[in-house]
Structures are given as C-alpha cells and as structure tokens.
Amino acid sequence: MSLKAERRGIYGILPYIAPETLDKGQYTTASDIYSFGIIMWEILYGRPVCYSQELETRLQIEICYNDLRPTIIENTHQCYVNLMKECWEREPENRPSSIKICEILTEWLNNELILSNLTKSDELLKNIKGTHTQSYSDDIYKSKFIKYTTSLCQDSGLNGLNIASDKL
C-alpha cells in the first residue's frame, strides 16, 4: 500500500490506515503491521472489511478514538485472533514486529495441533463465507486524500472534545 503524506492529511484507503497515521500522520513500520492485521482479517473471511458507518468521517473517528476494528466471527481459531488483535493495537509500540510475525507463522507451520485447529476453524468459517451478502460501496476501497483526524476536529470545531461513539 502506498501512502503519500500531505500537510493536513494522507493518501490511502481508510480501512487499512493505522489510527496514529489517521490521527496525526505518524507513519512507521508499525503502521504497516496494522494494515497486515486488516489483510489477515480479509484473507480469513474472504471479503473486504466492511464497517456499518455510512460516513467516512465518522468511521475515521471511530477507528482513531473508539478502537473500532473489524468484527471477529465465532469459530475463528484463537491464535489467529490473537495475532490479528496484536496487529490492531492502538499503540504502535505494542504491535508485533514483522520478524515476530514471521516467527509466529513459522511456529504455526511447524505445529501439527495448531495447523489442525486452524484447518477446523477454516472449515467452520467456509459456511459463513458463502452466506455473506452485505453490500458495500467500492468508494471506500479507492485511494484518496484523507484529512488527519486532528485536522477534521479542528475544521469542525471539535478540537479538544472527548468523542464517544454513542454521541456520533
């Protein structure tokens, strides 16, 4: 994914951009790890991440301030869930490094019990994948300029307010 920073925003695809990048333009390799976690979700469930928010601004605020992340479906093997959630940590320093992710994936490949459990989980999830009919706008999956959340709040007069999801 290519991200191009600008003074008050960034070019990218909203669901893949890490909260710290959306909020203040702080981009590090840990931001890529967040994106990797989103891709893990998409590979697992066989569809793009789809949030219920209609407005991208609202979605952006939810991701940054209320830790909105994709929904984990029942029957997903816990080791996979744990790695995804680690990749989605709000604080970039709490996300695993790419080296750590490689070590974890290698461990899974070398552990017959984990491979068996992941296979069983995948079989259970196949039924869910086939019944997914939720429609979504392709616009959210096109790279475009996205204002930093701090810029959104300043422009709308919300700067310094505590934003709660039930108020959006």
Residue-wise pLDDT tens digits, 85-139: 999 999 999 999 999 999 999 999 999 999 888 888 887 777 765 555 555 566 7
Q: Average pLDDT, whole number, for the chain?
A: 82
Q: Are 72 and 80 in contact (CB under 8 A)?
A: no
Which pTM value belongs to this model?
0.80
**Residue 14 pLDDT greater than 70, yes or no:** yes
Q: What's the pLDDT score for residue 106?
A: 96
| Beta-carbon count within 10 A of 128 CB | 15
- Structural domains of the chain ordered from first start: 4-167 (1.10.510.10)
Kindly state the average pLDDT of the residues 52-76: 85
Residue-wise pLDDT tens digits, 63-72: 999 999 999 9
